[in-house]
Structure 1
Amino acid sequence: MTISPDFSSPLISAEALKAALGRVRVFDVRFDLARPDAGEAAWREAHLPGAHYLHLDRDLSAKDGVPALCGGRHPLPTREVFAATAARLGLTPDTPVVLVDAQGGMFAARAWWMLRWIGARDVRVLDGGLAAWRAAGGALEPGEVAPAAPGPAWPLGPEPEGLRLTADALAAQLGRVALLDARAPERYRGDVEPLDPVAGHIPGALNRPFSANLGPDGRFLPPEALRAAFQGLAGARPVVHQCGSGVTACHNLLAMAVAGLPGGALYAGSWSEWCRDPARPVAQG
C-alpha cells in the first residue's frame, strides 16, 4: 500500500466546524443498536445548530422492501436508492457535509462511506464527535429542524470499481486478500455473539477492532500511527473490510483514509450475512 498523493483528511476538528457552521450541512448520526430510537431521541434533546438527523435503519440501510445489494442486519441500499435519499435531503455532490455521532464515529463513518460511494466530494466526520464539540464550547439546541428543500436529481455516475464486494466475490478471494474484521475481539473469536445466529469469523480474517483507531480522548490516532497499523496487517495485499453488518467496517475504511492509504473494498453484508448461509465456512478462536 502507498500513501495517496492527493491525500486530504476526511476529518474536521470541532474548532474548524465552529468556524464553518452555516456554510456546511451537518447531520447527526447517533444510534444505539439495542435501542433503535435512542439516537433520534437524543438528537431532539440537543444537537448542533441546524443539524438534521440520519437514521441508520431508515436512511442508511435497505429495509421494509427497499432494494438492497446484500443481506444481513443493515443491508446496503442500491446507489440509486441512496442517491434519491441524498437529493431528498437537499444535497448535491458539491454540498459540504459534516457527520456527527457520539459513538467514536462508528455510525458517522457509515454515512461518510455511503455519501462518497455515490459521488459526494466533500464529506467529513467530526473528530471526537459530540464530546469534542462540547469540550470546545460548541453550541447545542433542542427540537426538530425544518427539513431542507429537496435538491435536483442526484447525477449518479457508474459505480467506481473496487469499493465493495459481494459474499460470493469475497469467497472466491479468501486467502488472497487481507480481510479485516472490525468487531470486538470476543465476537471475532466467537466467545460471545449477542446479535447474530452463529459465533465466529470468516476464515482467514484478521481482527482490527474499530476502537483501535481511536485514542483515549475519542479522537482518531495520528495518521502515521494508523498507517503503520494497517500496513502491518495488510502488507501488499488488497484489503477488504467487514464487521457484523457493514457499519463499523466503514470506520476502518475511514481510518485508512485518515492515514492517507487506499482503503480497499467493503463487504457490506459482513458477518450477519455470511453466517446465515450454512454452506459458508466459519472459523473460531
Structure 2
Amino acid sequence: MSTHHYTTLISATNLLLHAQPDWVIIDCRHDLANPDAGRAAYDAGHIKNARFAHLDNDLSGAKHAADGTFKGRHPLPDHHNLISKLQHWGISDDTQVIAYDAHGGMFAARLWWLLRSIGHANVAVLDGGLAAWQAEGQPLSTVEPLAAPGNISFKTPLVHSVNLHHVETHLINPKHVLIDARAPDRFRGENETIDPVGGHIPGAKNRFFKDNLLPDGRFKSGHQLQQEFGYLTSDPLHTVMQCGSGVTACHNLLAMEIAGMHGASLYPGSWSEWCADPSRPMTTGV
C-alpha cells in the first residue's frame, strides 16, 4: 500500500513516481455541447488503467425532483448511487483516487468534490490534466480495465452544500458571500448559450474558474490563490460557490482548498436551477 496521500492536486511527475497498483485513476473528460465527446476521447486514448466517468450519467443525479421541480442541469447524485458507482470502479475506503480531464480540472474537480462529500479524503486532481501526463512522454492506452469491486462506504462528509432555500434566505445577509464561477460574459448576462436566461443571482461576485490556472493549465500556487480569493471573501464558512450547474463551482472550491481556505459550501443547483423560476430575482451586468 502507498504511504503517499494526495488530497488536492498531484503532479504528473508524482503520479509517475508514486502510483501504486491499488490507486484508481478516473478519466472525467466531457464536453457540455457534446455529451458523447468525453467517452469518445477516452476510447481513443487514456491514461493506462483509467476508468471513465461521465458527467451526466455518473457524476450527476436526476434533473427533476419527485414532484417535477427542476433541480438544475447537473444535480448531485444520490449517495447510494454514487457509492455503487465508486465501488464498481474498484474504489475502497483506503483507495487513493486520481481524477483528470483535458480541461484544466473543470470536470475532474467535480469528482474530487463528490468523493469528499461522502468523506473520502484521498482524492486528487491531476495538475495540468492529460496534457501534463503526455508532456512526461507517457503513452496512452485504449484498453478499458476490469476492476474488482471496491468497498467504499459513506463517512462523515468533508464538504458542505446548500440548497435553493438557503441561497434565497441569505440574499440580503451582508455576511453571506456568493461566488459565481462562470465566464464574465455569462455572469453579465451576455452570450448565454446553455441556460434559457442570462444573468446572475443578485449580490453574487464573479470568479471565473479558469482564473485559478496558470497559462500551462496547472493551478496557481496556494499563496497566489489565497491572495486572489481573499479579495472576494474573508470568511470561507459563510461563502457559497455556484456556477451554471454546480460543476465549475467545484473548481473554485478546490482552489480554495489549495489556498488553505477551508469550509466554503457548494450550491449544486446554481444558476440553472435559480433561473428556472422567473419569479426569482435576477440581474445582469457587473
Please report the TM-score for the alignment, with normalisation by the length of structure 1: 0.91
Query: Are 2:153 and 1:155 equivalent residues in the alignment?
Result: yes
Instruction: Tell me what 1:168 maps to.
Output: 165
Instruction: Tell me what 1:16 maps to.
Output: 14
Instruction: Tell me what 1:62 maps to.
Output: 61
Alpha-carbon distance change, 148 to 69 in structure 1, aligned in 2, over 3 angstroms = farther
Alpha-carbon distance change, 137 to 69 in structure 1, aligned in 2, over 3 angstroms = farther
Superposed CA deviations along residues 22-74 of structure 1, whole A, max 9, x for unmatched, are 43211100000011111111111111110110000110011388989971111
1:229 partner amino acid: E
Structure 1 Cα separation of the partners of residues 19 and 210 of structure 2:
28
DSSP 3-state at the match of 1:170: helix
Alpha-carbon distance change, 157 to 15 in structure 1, aligned in 2, over 3 angstroms = closer
Structure 2 Cα separation of the partners of residues 79 and 49 of structure 1:
28
1:14 partner amino acid: A
Q: How many residues align?
A: 275
1:189-208 mapped onto 2 (5 Å cutoff): 189-208=188-207
Is there any run of 5+ residues in structure 1 with no aligned partner, and where?
A: 1-7
Instruction: Tell me what 2:231 maps to.
Output: 232
Is there any run of 5+ residues in structure 2 with no aligned partner, and where?
A: 1-5
Instruction: Tell me what 1:4 maps to.
Output: none
Alpha-carbon distance change, 244 to 17 in structure 1, aligned in 2, over 3 angstroms = same
Root mean square deviation of aligned Cα: 2.1
Instruction: Tell me what 2:3 maps to.
Output: none
Superposed CA deviations along residues 174-202 of structure 1, whole A, max 9, x for unmatched, are 23311000000000000121011111000
Instruction: Tell me what 2:213 maps to.
Output: 214
Structure 1 Cα separation of the partners of residues 33 and 24 of structure 2:
28
DSSP 3-state at the match of 2:25: strand
1:238-249 mapped onto 2 (5 Å cutoff): 238-249=238-249
CA contact (8 A) 1:98 1:126 kept: yes
Superposed CA deviations along residues 65-116 of structure 1, whole A, max 9, x for unmatched, are 8989971111111222212221222212211000110000000000000011
1:21-100 mapped onto 2 (5 Å cutoff): 21-23=19-21, 24-63=23-62, 71-100=71-100
Query: Are 2:246 and 1:257 equivalent residues in the alignment?
Result: no
Structure 2 Cα separation of the partners of residues 62 and 171 of structure 1:
22
Alpha-carbon distance change, 253 to 64 in structure 1, aligned in 2, over 3 angstroms = closer
CA contact (8 A) 1:70 1:76 kept: no
Structure 2 Cα separation of the partners of residues 65 and 273 of structure 1:
10
1:120 partner amino acid: H
DSSP 3-state at the match of 2:190: coil
